């Protein structure tokens, strides 16, 4: 009887004690927001920790970090901003790696529009792309136009979105006939367009510099158990499977830092 009471007491005590849970603030580039939500769900299913997700263009998130925004992990859409943060001593030692390689596509909400032909022939009024000052996908789009010798002819027709998500919004609302977005964003469109649809052009990777997307653990978070757990999770095979399924390339082992 005494043993039974002791077991019952210990069980009640364990139920009363809260699980050790912390929150990690994850700053995510706009192009990766949809995938980050999937990673958040998978992480929270297997951990007691919780993720607070903040999304904007990489440039804006970088500026906020410099202004001491309370972020723990930054998933940028490029390597340059994480490299600068490392040079400025703002990330934890050896806590930077390439988590994904993005792909650029040209897309139109008009299913009958051959977007590549339309771009080359100039049969459109407005072309959307992310602002290259803030968004690496905007840099990739600008470089693509330059390599296709279309920079001059498209200059007055460009609509520069705040970020890659806004570029997609412009296209879906039909405020523009076509625009550049991330390949991963196609999975957000309902119904899901077929990869070989003529209103989608997978831009040749030779036309723009590789979109290497780096993650960093900020120095202020190096003792946060939730941040450390998420950092390890992002490098796991489970996370890489989610990222690959979202139309990103998975970098080779020697790409990260």
Residue 254 belongs to some domain of the structure? no
State the chain's mean pLDDT as an integer.
90
Would you state the pLDDT for residue 92? 95
Are residues 216 and 198 part of one domain? no
Better-scored residue on pLDDT, 17 or 227: 227
Decide if pLDDT at 253 tops 70: no
Would you state the pLDDT for residue 202? 95
Q: Which CATH number goes with the domain that contains 151?
A: 3.40.190.10
- From 42-51, 176-185, 187-196, 206-215, the region with the lowest mean pLDDT: 187-196
Strand partners, 164: none
Residue 6 belongs to some domain of the structure? no
Q: What is the mean pLDDT of residues 228-239?
A: 97
d(CA 76, CA 163): 13
72, 227 Cβ separation under 8 angstroms: yes
d(CA 120, CA 222): 49
Residue 163 belongs to some domain of the structure? yes
Residue 125 belongs to some domain of the structure? yes
For residue range 146-169, what is the model confidence (pLDDT) as tens digits? 999 999 999 999 999 998 999 999
pLDDT confidence band for 227 (50 / 70 / 90): very high
Q: What is the mean pLDDT of residues 185-197?
A: 82
Are residues 110 and 135 part of one domain? yes
Decide if pLDDT at 15 tops 60: no
d(CA 223, CA 229): 11
Residue 110 tokens, joined = 């008009």
Residue 67 belongs to some domain of the structure? yes
Are residues 91 and 126 part of one domain? no
d(CA 114, CA 25): 41
pLDDT confidence band for 16 (50 / 70 / 90): very low
pTM, rounded to two decimals: 0.83
Total residues belonging to the chain: 257
Would you state the pLDDT for residue 10? 46
Would you state the pLDDT for residue 193? 78
Number of domains in the chain: 2
Are residues 108 and 84 part of one domain? no
- From 11-15, 197-201, 202-206, 211-215, the region with the lowest mean pLDDT: 11-15
Alpha-carbon torsion angle 135, 139, 141, 145, nearest 10:
150
pLDDT confidence band for 254 (50 / 70 / 90): very low
pLDDT confidence band for 141 (50 / 70 / 90): very high
Residue 253 belongs to some domain of the structure? no
Alpha-carbon torsion angle 70, 75, 79, 85, nearest 10:
10
Residue 159 belongs to some domain of the structure? yes
Are residues 111 and 86 part of one domain? no
Are residues 196 and 220 part of one domain? no
Are residues 90 and 28 part of one domain? yes
Decide if pLDDT at 32 tops 80: yes
Are residues 82 and 130 part of one domain? no
**Owning domain of residue 40:** 21-102+210-245
How does strand 178-182 pair with strand 104-107?
antiparallel
Strand partners, 73: 26, 217
Are residues 141 and 175 part of one domain? yes
Would you state the pLDDT for residue 257? 46
Residue 38 belongs to some domain of the structure? yes
Q: What is the mean pLDDT of residues 104-132?
A: 96
Are residues 215 and 88 part of one domain? yes
Are residues 214 and 98 part of one domain? yes
Decide if pLDDT at 18 tops 60: no
Decide if pLDDT at 256 tops 60: no
Decide if pLDDT at 100 tops 90: yes
| Apex 130 CA angle, 127 and 134, nearest 5 | 155
Are residues 93 and 114 part of one domain? no
Would you state the pLDDT for residue 20? 60
């Amino acid at each position: 009887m005494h043993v039974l009471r002791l077991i019952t007491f210990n069980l009640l005590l364990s139920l009363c004690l809260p699980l050790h849970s912390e929150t990690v603030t994850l700053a995510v580039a706009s192009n990766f927001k949809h995938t980050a939500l999937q990673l958040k769900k998978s992480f929270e299913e297997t951990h007691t920790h919780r993720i607070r997700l903040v999304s904007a263009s990489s440039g804006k998130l970088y500026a906020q970090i410099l202004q001491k925004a309370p972020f723990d992990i930054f998933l940028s859409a490029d390597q340059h901003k994480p490299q600068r943060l490392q040079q400025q001593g703002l990330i934890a030692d050896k806590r930077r790696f390439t988590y994904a390689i993005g792909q650029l596509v040209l897309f139109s909400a008009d299913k009958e529009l051959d977007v590549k032909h339309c771009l080359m022939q100039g049969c459109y009024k407005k072309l959307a792309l992310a602002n290259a000052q803030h968004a690496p996908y905007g840099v990739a789009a600008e470089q693509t136009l330059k390599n296709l010798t279309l920079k001059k002819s498209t200059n007055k027709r460009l609509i520069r979105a705040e970020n890659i998500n806004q570029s997609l919004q412009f296209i879906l609302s039909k405020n523009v006939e076509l625009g550049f977005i991330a390949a991963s964003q196609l999975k957000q469109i309902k119904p899901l367009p077929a990869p070989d649809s003529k209103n989608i052009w997978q831009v040749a990777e030779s036309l723009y510099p590789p979109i290497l997307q780096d993650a960093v653990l900020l120095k202020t978070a190096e003792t946060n158990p939730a941040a450390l757990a998420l950092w390890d999770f992002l490098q796991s095979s489970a996370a890489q499977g989610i990222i690959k399924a979202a139309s990103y390339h998975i970098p080779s082992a020697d790409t990260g830092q």
